[in-house]
Every structure is written in structure tokens, then in C-alpha cells.
Amino acid sequence: MRIAVIGAGSLGGLYGGQLARHGYDVSFIARGATLVALQNDGLTVKSGTVGDFTVAVNATDDPSKVGHVDLIILATKTYDLEAAVAQMRPMVGPQTIVLTLQNGIDAASRVNGILNGDHALTGVAYVNAALEGPGVVRKITAAVDFIVLGEPEGGRSQRADDVAAVLGEAGIQTRTPDDVRVPMWEKFILLSGTGGVLALTRLPIGPIRESKSMTELFFGAVREAVAVGRAKGIAMAPDIMEQHTRLVESLPPESRSSMMQDVTSGRRLELEALNGAIVRLGREYGVPTPLNLAIYAGLEAYIAGAPTAA
């Protein structure tokens, strides 16, 4: 299987690195300092679970040099999705599968709409990883560590099982449920807390858990998102709040959400795809979302990066 990775950040670097280490033909589409680092120094992964390693990889900023591939791992931010899909066109053949790993709930449908075909699988990554520098990824050990994948509209498929098998051979744990929309929403609602509250406070999960008021804000935002999902008809587990409480309690205290890392680094935010989407869907389905609106309002000025002083 020929594989391409678009978005050589924490997720793309981690999973693409494991696949390349296992011997798969993996090409990274990158640019700037990341491209230079991958070409000159290879990709480095630091992990207590899969080990520390550096692997030489094929990296380019020109997808036409790669040609058609069997699998594209799309690991960009949600706001870069349209540009990334336009860029990947030279690598998309009739049978090419695109595994979307974006936060939010609509990446696969957006990919299929742009490509005008049924190429996308929904992927939901449960992993805690961070980019230490260009071409260097650190994976933080956590109790939960796997990818859930499946057809965007639910149901099982051979192609989803085939992709899961490839990932599994490289040591990436996978699950292929009957309806991937359920775990997709279950992660999405958790991100209303971990993404939004950690970004808003600029604090890792440890201090959040130790504060009564911040804990109330955290889980209150999650409860609002659960209500929105159920109003939309997503069959989440009856005990989803209890599950997420246990998951949050299991995280290392230094755990940081990707949106927190983005806001503290002055980068663009995925706010529209997370708390913003909850607020919009809440209005559509008549579900109050005041806490998510407060989180959105507190971060709105940072959507495009650090705001410029007046």
C-alpha cells in the first residue's frame, strides 16, 4: 500500500512515522521548516509506548511528484481542509481512500464534496501528542490510545477494515464500530471541554481538575454538547458523562489540548469547528448552550491567531 500524509504535525507525524518505520511506502506533503527537517533529518518520534525512533522519509511540497496513492492520511487542522484537499488531487485515483483525522463532525463529508466522490473515511483519533519542533513529535502516554474509523454515514465496509488492518500492522490500535458517528460525536463533545476550557484558561488539565469552578465550567460545556448531540439524534451511550469523567481523571496532569497549544503559541484556532459548531447546532435544535457561547466569545478574538493590538 502506498500512503501519503498531509499535515506532518503531531498526528500526521506520529502515525505516518509508525507506518514508515514498519516499512510502508509513505510520502509526507509538507512545507517550510517542516519540509526541510524531514528531508534533511528524517522524522523523529519520542514515545514511551512505541519507543523513540528516527526514520528517513520521502517528503515533498509537490503532490504531483508522488502520484496516485492507496491511502491519504489527512491530518491538517479543520481550517486548512479545503486547501489540503485541493492540493491532494494529483494523488487521488479512483480507489484512493482518504482517512480524515480532523476535529469536529463534518470533515469526511467536506472531503467527499470537494472531490465529488466517495473517497473519505471518518477517523477519530484518541491520542495525546505534541509537536516539539519541525519533524519531531512527542507522544504522551495515556490510558486511551487508538483510532476509531468507519464510513461517514455509518455501517461497516471492507475498505475500513483494510485500513484498520494496515494501521494495526504498524502498531496503531484501531476500532471499526458499526456507526462511527457515535464515537465521533463522543469525542467532539469532550473537545468542548478539553479544547475550549483549556484554551480559554491557558492551563493544562491538572489545574482544571483541582478547581471547583473550572471543573463546573468544563463539564457544563460537555453536558451542553451532549444535549445538542442527542437532539440531533446521535445514539451516544447513556453513561457518556460518566465515561468522559473517568477519561478526564485518567489524563496526566500536564495534558494540554491542541487548541490550548495553538492559542498559547499565537496560531489559528479550530474554534469554529468545536465550540462554535455546538453553539450553531444548539440554535438549530433549540438547545441552550450558554457555556459554550461564553467559551467561544472568550476565544473569538484569537481565531486567526494572536490579535494585533489596536
Phi/psi of residue 84, nearest 5 degrees: -65, -40
Instruction: Classify domain 183-302 at the CATH topology level.
Output: N-(1-d-carboxylethyl)-l-norvaline Dehydrogenase; domain 2 (1.10.1040)
Angle between helices 212-232 and 240-250 (to 10 degrees): 140
How many angstroms separate the Cα of 70 from the Cα of each of 97, 98, 162, 218? 6, 9, 11, 40
Q: Domain coordinates of the chain in residue numbers?
A: 2-178, 183-302
With pLDDT > 70 as the criterion, what percentage of the chain qualifies?
98
The Cα–Cα gap between 138 and 155 comes to 34
Residue 140 above 80 pLDDT?
A: no
* Residue 77: CB atoms within 10 Å: 20
Ranked by mean pLDDT, the top range of 131-145, 260-274, 278-292 is: 278-292
Rounded CA-CA distance 239/249 in Å is 16
Say which CATH topology domain 2-178 has: Rossmann fold (3.40.50)
**pLDDT band of 310, cuts 50, 70, 90:** very low
Using one digit for the tens of pLDDT, what is the confidence trace for 149-174?
Answer: 999 998 889 999 999 999 999 999 99
In whole angstroms, give the CA distance from residue 123 to residue 12: 12
Separation CA 44–CA 228 (nearest Å): 40
Rounded CA gap, 59 and 42, in Å?
9
pLDDT above 90 (res 51): no
User: Is pLDDT above 60 for 12?
Assistant: yes
Neighbours of 122 (CB within 10 A): 26
What integer best gives the mean pLDDT of the chain? 94
Q: Is-above-0.85 flag for pTM? A: yes
Rounded mean pLDDT, 129-153: 87
Asked if residue 309 has pLDDT above 60, the reply is no
**Percent of residues in the chain assigned helix, strand, coil, to nearest 5:** 50, 20, 30
Amino acid at 225: A
Residue 229 and residue 104: Cα distance in Å, rounded?
Answer: 12
Decide if 123 contacts 26 (C-beta within 8 A). no
Q: Is the pLDDT of residue 109 over 70?
A: yes
105 alpha-carbon distance from chain centroid: 11
pLDDT tens readout for residues 198-231:
999 999 999 999 999 999 999 999 999 999 999 9
**Cα 245 versus chain centre, distance:** 20
Contact 126, 14 (CB under 8 A): no
